[in-house]
Structure 1
């Protein structure tokens, strides 16, 4: 059996990455874990996020993955280096792929970044952008209510429009031409965000860019799936499997099975 790609997230947001991996690499098998019981990660202290991420990676390593994708911007900002140090398996985060794409596509050099409180507070995107292109103007804002909409399965409801407009009204006054969706939950709201900001602002999905990075790395490492059989993916969540499965089926368009995982939750969870 082919070694899988392990993808983890604080909840359902990483399904945007999983969907892109499935589209770009249809022969690859995916093991997905969404920590829905403890989502969102954004408001949590970074030490908690690091602990949770290490717990999940330890769980996923039993499946002998050939690559681990931290499909959560908050976890990437808080724990990427520690996860790389704890395993010999290649580890990919979601920040650098989005940064490179935004720099490539921005003509004005004015880039907006939206993300969770933890991601924005870490300044990971701003630092990564300016490390490559110091001249850039970067405007960042936390939009924690977006994650709540998605985790509750309300991303297609009438509640989206007013929440998006309220959160992003200040970006209408800025002369940006590129907006990084610095949370993998946010592509669920891409249509509403684009409708509000207009076609002159290009949205950069870290999900799409991360999937491209995964494809490139697997190719260069000679680890692309060699079988022509369609893979059977596995999805795990730590919270309500019914809601997770509903959202996953809507987003992925497949009849998937979700395997709930019982955690020994730390006292501060």
Structure 2
């Protein structure tokens, strides 16, 4: 068997659970020829309540595992891990590593008017890291960050369209209604609550989906490095650290993704 061309090697994507599937779905739609390997750390979700040390350790473990799959690009499709572990992951990775913070920030700056107001929603760990405030510093916009820690468990429970999700969104975001030009969904789980969040924020606020922005940035990165796969139909591989049947069922119900068999890798 001949050597696999660099362009035919897979793209690795990981998240604390199923939120990163929002990035996977956007990327799969844009680049049908790419081979994609997705890892969801379902045994240790959520990351947003964990210490920085734990998130860095988990991220390095998963990165090492995905590197064994001979990936050509790694997408850290978790805002908490992007906030806390991106540099640590880059130090151990021989392939390019992308996070989800910068693509979301760039999309928000294209959306908000000069000197406008941007509201960042994220996990407690992401907000406490101030990663978004740092990335937006010097841009002239006014930044407010709001931790919304219950959003991830609601998504992982599959409760996106239940009344409890709307009630939680109102609790977190009602004080900001009509007061932000753009809201960054600063967690890859949050696009699954996009309609609920938009309803609370009102028509003035544009919702910035960092999953879509990250997928667009990944396409650009692959093109710039001449690594786009010219194939027509890429393979998808899904691996989790626990509860594969539940992951597959929620992927189908919430995102319409047919995973097929989901493998398990425990650390």
Alignment of 1:63-78 (within 5 A): 63-78=69-84
Shift of 1:175: 2.2
Q: Determine whether 1:249 maps to 2:252.
A: yes
Q: Identify the residue that residue 162 of structure 1 maps to in structure 2.
A: 167
Alignment of 1:221-232 (within 5 A): 221-228=225-232, 230-232=233-235
Which residue of 197, 202, 207 corresponds with 1:203?
207
Q: Determine whether 1:98 maps to 2:104.
A: yes
Shift of 1:262: 4.0
On the 8 A contact 1:15/1:251 being kept in 2, the answer is: no
SS in 1 for 2:32: coil
On the 8 A contact 1:240/1:260 being kept in 2, the answer is: no
| Distance of 1:25 and 1:231 partners within structure 2 | 8
| Distance of 1:26 and 1:253 partners within structure 2 | 16
| Distance of 1:142 and 1:98 partners within structure 2 | 17
Shift of 1:97: 0.4
Q: Determine whether 1:126 maps to 2:147.
A: no
TM-score, scaled relative to structure 1:
0.93
Deviations along 1:134-177, one digit per CA (max 9) or x if unpaired, are x22111110010001001111122321111111111212x6211
Q: Determine whether 1:11 maps to 2:17.
A: yes
| Distance of 1:207 and 1:122 partners within structure 2 | 20
Which residue of 41, 48, 61 corresponds with 2:67?
61
Shift of 1:104: 1.3
| Distance of 1:254 and 1:167 partners within structure 2 | 29
Q: CA RMSD in A?
A: 1.3
Residue ranges of structure 1 left out of the alignment (5+ in a row): 265-269
Q: Identify the residue that residue 267 of structure 1 maps to in structure 2.
A: none
Size of the alignment, in residue pairs? 260
| Distance of 2:261 and 2:132 partners within structure 1 | 32
On the 8 A contact 1:239/1:260 being kept in 2, the answer is: no
TM-score, scaled relative to structure 2:
0.94
| Distance of 1:152 and 1:129 partners within structure 2 | 32
Runs of 4 or more above 4 Å deviation: none
Q: Determine whether 1:151 maps to 2:156.
A: yes
Shift of 1:34: 0.4
SS in 2 for 1:88: coil
